[in-house]
Amino acid sequence: MTVQVPKLEYRHRVDDLLRTERLPHVWCPGCGIGITLQAFLRAVKALEAKGVVDRKQLVFVTGIGCTGRASGYVRLDGAHTPHGRPIAYAYGVKLANPKLVPVVFSGDGDLAGIGGNHLLHAARRNFDMLVIMVNNFNYALTGGQLAPTTPHGAYSTTTPKGNPERPMDVARLVAALGANYVARWSIHYPVHIEEAIKRALPRRGFRFIEVLSICPEIFGRHIGFRSPVDLYERLRKVSKVKKPKTLEEIKYDWENEITLGVFVDKDEPGYMESICSVYNYDWCNELPERRWSKQ
């Protein structure tokens, strides 16, 4: 598998973290997944440049969905796991080799729908992993069905007369569960996403970043914003950056406000350190999150 490497000038800045031979990727024109992925890769490179993170230690785990396809493009150790199970898979990675750092990158349906129980318990345990959830407000890969994040009243192929359900505010939920780092940004804030990842990746415990994204091909079409730019602007309209003081101040309301910002930023011991407080494993002093946090 010899990879043809084009001249440096003709490569993207993050190309060395991509399986470029597979580009262009499958995502539709204007899909926000790529924006999020790029921010992640930029963050990795930036942290690497500072000597904080070593890409060999990262394991990039995705579930099934459009977002889940990301693992096919990222040139890191990784896995494309069954629908809803990337967090579960990541448990095993970390337990087997505590020197690795699992990064879960997946869709809202995958993580908060079918995968909700793992999200719940990983956050509760403050289990050491970074989770980046791309929230495109629907089940995109399967054609636009209702997601737990779909706005109330919105059309989806399984709620053709409008969604009767109350959506889930996933970031708020994870914050309520006591994760170490919780932030929500939208793709209008690529630098903030990158910064959030730079802050969260080297941190111990459970770190969760929700990125509000656009799926113009399916979600946009259903709600009448077919062009990526229109949907981009529609989403920008409700995305409001704030510094909420209580959980109750965090909003997830497609008509008025979806609160953006950093909701939790603390540094309590993660799961791995907790077991180190009970057993003296030889890796206890080499947990990368512990070392990195200190830098």
Partner 1 sequence: MTLEIIIAGRGGQGILLTGYLLGKALVKKGYYVVNSEMYSAETRGGFSRSDLIVFPSEAEMDIIKVRKADIAIFMYKDQMHSYAEYVKPNAQLVILDGTFIDEPAKPWPRVLKVPFTRLAEEKVGTYRVANVFMLGVFSYVTGLIDPETMKEIIKTSVRPKWIEINLKAFDAGYNYAKENLERVEIKL
Partner 2 sequence: MAPRRAYDIIILANRCKECGLCIHVCPKKILVTGNKQNQKGYRVTTVTKPSDCIGCRLCEFSCPDFVIRIEPSSNGVPKGLIVWGENEVEVIKG
Partner 3 sequence: MARREFLTGNEAMAEAAIAAGLRVFIGYPITPASDLFEYLAEKLPSYGGIVFQAEDEIASINALVGATYAGAKAMTATSGPGFSLMAESLGLAAMLEAPIVIVYNMRTGPSTGIATGTGQGDVMQSRWASHGHYGVVVYSPWSVQEAYNLVVKAFDTAWRLRVPTIVLSDAVIAHTRELAVVYEPGEVKVADRKPPREPPGEFKPFKPDPDDLVPPMAFYGEGYAVLAESLAHDERGYYTTDPENYERLVRRLEGKITRNKHHVVSSEARYTEDAETVIVAFGTLARSALALVKDLRKQGKKVGLWRPVSIWPLDEEGLSKAVEHADRVIVAEMNLGQLYREIARILGPTGRKIELVPVLTPELPGPDELLGYFEKAGVEI
Q: Which residues pair with 185 in a beta bridge?
A: 211
Per CB under 6 A, does 252 bind ligand TPP? no
132 near partner 2, rule: CB under 8 A: no
- Residue 291 CA to residue 173 CA, distance in Å, equals 28
| Segment interacting with partner 3 (CB under 8 A) among 33-41, 203-211, 249-257, 273-281 | 273-281
Decide: is 189 part of the binding site for ligand TPP (CB under 6 A): no
Q: Which helix (H) or strand (E) holds 193?
A: helix 190-200
Q: What share of the chain is helix, strand, coil (3-state, %, to 5)?
A: 40, 20, 40
Nearest alpha carbon to residue 181 among 217, 222, 129, 223: 129
Is residue 27 within 8 Å of residue 77, measured between CB atoms?
no
Shortest approach of partner 1 to residue 28 CB, angstroms? 6
Q: Residue from 113, 151, 167, 220 that binds partner 3 (CB under 8 A)? A: 113
By CB under 6 A, residue 67 contacts ligand TPP = yes
Q: Select the binding partner of residue 93 from partner 2, a copy of itself, partner 1, none (C-beta < 5 to 8 A, by kind).
A: none
- Point out which residues pair with 135 in neighbouring strands: 212
The interface with partner 1 within residues 27-46 (CB under 8 A) comprises: 28-29
Q: Residue 47 phi/psi, 5° resolution? A: -70, -35
CA–CA distance, 190 with 281 (Å, rounded to integer): 39
- What does 12 interact with, of a copy of itself, ligand TPP, partner 2, none (CB < 5 to 8 A by kind)? partner 2
Min dist. Cβ of residue 12 to partner 2 (A):
4
* 255 close to 238: Cβ distance less than 8 angstroms: yes
* Structural Rg of the chain based on CA atoms: 18
The answer to whether residue 215 forms part of the interface with ligand SF4 (CB under 6 A) is yes
Based on the number of CB atoms within 10 Å of its own CB, is 4 exposed (0-12), middle (13-18) or buried (19 or more)? exposed
Strand, helix or coil for residue 20: helix
For partner 3, give the closer residue by CB, 135 or 186: 135
The single residue among 15, 20, 46, 57 that binds partner 3, judged by CB under 8 A, is 57
* Helix spans in 111-189 (H): 116-125, 170-176
Helix or strand or coil: residue 211?
A: strand
Binding site for ligand TPP (CB under 6 A): 64-67, 83, 107-110, 136, 138-142, 147
Binding site for partner 2 (CB under 8 A): 6-7, 9-15, 18, 23-25, 27-35, 38-39, 42, 187, 190-191, 194, 216, 227-229, 232
Binding site for partner 3 (CB under 8 A): 1-3, 19, 22, 56-57, 59, 61, 64, 71-72, 75-85, 88-97, 99-100, 102, 113-114, 116-118, 120-121, 139, 142-143, 145-146, 148, 157-161, 275, 278-279, 281-282
Binding site for ligand SF4 (CB under 6 A): 27-28, 31, 33, 66, 136, 140-141, 215-218
